[in-house]
Amino acid sequence: MGKETLTLVFLLICGMLFGSIMGEILSPWIPFLTKSKMISWSPAADLEIVKYDLNFQFKLNLASIGGLALAFWIHRRLK
């Protein structure tokens, strides 16, 4: 992975966290920001010798999507 890809991933994670925090702060005045949808992905395999199970979960709401958009905009401006 290149430096630019790692920067994008880092900014997107930070943007999602920032959006979620802002949504929680603003939820008393704008309650629809905290309505969220859980997205999960669980790949697993049992190969007789090795068995693994991974679980990824994302809790997306309107504020975190706004944070993702802001992070992507910041990444485009850094170029």
Q: What are the pLDDT digits (tens) for 42-66?
A: 888 888 888 888 898 888 899 999 9
The structural domain count of the chain equals 1
pLDDT of residue 1: 65
**Domain span at 14:** 3-41+54-78
Helix, strand, coil % over all residues of the chain, rounded to 5: 55, 25, 20
Task: Assign 6 to helix, strand or coil.
Answer: helix
**Residue at 9 is within a domain:** yes
The whole model's pTM is what?
A: 0.74
Q: What are phi and psi of 77, to 5 degrees?
A: -70, -25
In a domain, 11, yes or no: yes
